[in-house]
Homo-oligomer: A and B are copies of this chain.
Amino acid sequence: MLTINTARLLDDLAALAHIGATPDGGVSRPALSAADVEGRAWFHLRVESDGLEFRQDGAGNLSAVLPCDNPSAKTLLFGSHLDTVLNGGRYDGALGTLAALESLRAIRDAGLKLPVHLEAISFTDEEGEVVGLLGSQAIAGRLTPEMLEQPRGGRDKLEAGMQRLGLTPQSILSARRDPQTLAAFVELHIEQGARLEESGMDIGVVTAIVGIRSFWLRFVGQAAHAGTMPMPRRADALWGAAAFVESARSRVIADFSPGVMNCGLISARPGAFNIVPGEVRLALEFRHASDQQLDEMESVLLGQARRSASDFHLALEIEPAGSVSPAPLDERVIIAIETAAQVCGLRHTRLLSFAGHDTQAMSAITPSAMLFVPSVGGISHNPREFTQPRDVVNGANVLLNTVLELAGAF
């Protein structure tokens, strides 16, 4: 059985964690930021000093390539992303990207000749600080010019980021690949949940990724003097937003579990101690496993927002802020991962992914699946995110052996 070089992988993980490091041990390397540019430069240097071929496409996706002797062979893709959320952790994205690079090095070092081109890839802007799944959707041909017009992170951030990376909307859209040239895609990632840890499993084999819908809700009332306007006559936008958060939380827990919702951003205007808020902007996101369940959640949650607004004499503006469809994954790739886990002597189980991943976009154009390793305490998007070194190595070895399984299969 072929295995990765443990020290080389752990060294790479430690080195990358320094880029965008926060004082509390976390990492802030949001997509297209200066820290992201630094992380990309580090990866580029790493690939070239490993003696591998480096590529960057029009969407800023970075790859290390080990070409097949047959130039017309298909490409087997595997990887993840280098960007992080603000003050996130050291493993989300980084593990899958660096384990892919290490798998490539292990195969090159072993002198194996495979019937496919191998490409370890880091996708641009997975987390959604700018667009979300930007690089993988571009490759999958699922990105539209409209999505670049109204990115969820704001147009200014996208413009500044594209300039920083030398990208243009045209170059991003040109990153689309012909599905005929691809063999399959596989991604290693941390679970970002506690199911594997709680069940004592080593490897999670993902059978589907939940869909995500995002909206900006704008509650609009009437700014007023916070002393002289009697409370019963106010149209306080925060009262409506607070009532919505309360009711949405309890309804989703009661009726949509294991579906989830989140309000992660809120602001009040004009914004002063002594002014009744005339406007509150609230970010709403929810996830579930099927389009039908998502439709039902959307109807219930937006209905609750309308009711909370009307209860407090407010207007409500609803602005869609992105949507990712649920993605069932490919049974043959799933079985390849299970076979590799068997080869490595590891306990594995099938599960759903409640986080969005680049695999979701890639599954639209090529047979795809992904594998999880445990996250301690299920903590993620947080400086305390941690995966045990043995699980890092287990995940990388299963990825490597999955690549070997898949290489001849498509």
Contacts and interface: CB of A to CB of B under 8 A. Distances in A.
Interface of A: 85-87, 127-129, 152, 191-193, 210, 212, 214, 222-233, 236, 238-239, 241-243, 245-246, 249, 252-253, 257-258, 260-268, 270-278, 280, 283, 285, 287, 321-322, 353-356, 378-382
A314 to B, nearest CB: 14
Given A86-B272, A273-B285, A285-B274, A227 B192 contact: yes
B260 A355 contact: no
Given A223-B382, A231-B252, A242-B245, A271 B355 contact: no
A273 B228 contact: no
A267 B270 contact: no
A242 B31 CA distance: 31
Given A229-B378, A285-B274, A267 B264 contact: no
Contact of A231 (B128, B253, B273): B253
Nearest to A216: B273
17 contacts: A86-B270, A224-B380, A225-B355, A226-B262, A227-B354, A236-B262, A238-B245, A241-B242, A242-B243, A242-B245, A262-B273, A264-B276, A265-B268, A266-B267, A270-B381, A273-B283, A273-B321
Contact of A268 (B266, B273, B382): B266
Nearest to A355: B227
Contacts of A242: 241-243, 245-246
A381 B224 contact: yes
Given A225-B192, A380-B225, A382-B223, A264 B277 contact: yes
Task: Please indicate which of the listed interface residues A242, A252, A287, A379 has the most CB atoms of chain B within 10 Å of its own CB.
Answer: A242
Contacts of A231: 249, 252-253, 257, 260-261
Contacts of A283: 272-273
A381 B275 contact: yes
A107 to B, nearest CB: 31
Given A214-B273, A228-B378, 19 more contacts: A86-B272, A86-B275, A87-B223, A129-B272, A191-B228, A210-B227, A212-B274, A223-B381, A225-B381, A226-B287, A227-B354, A231-B253, A242-B243, A242-B245, A264-B273, A265-B268, A266-B280, A273-B321, A278-B382
B260 A193 contact: no
A236 B248 CA distance: 13
Contacts of A253: 231-232
Contact of A152 (B192, B273, B276): B273
Task: Please indicate which of the listed interface residues A212, A222, A223 has the most CB atoms of chain B within 10 Å of its own CB.
Answer: A223
Given A238-B263, A266-B266, A128 B228 contact: no
B260 A230 contact: yes
A252 B265 CA distance: 27
A227 B272 contact: no
Contacts of A270: 85-87, 381
A128 B272 contact: yes
A285 B223 CA distance: 15
A380 to B, nearest CB: 4
Task: Please indicate which of the listed interface residues A262, A268, A276 has the most CB atoms of chain B within 10 Å of its own CB.
Answer: A262
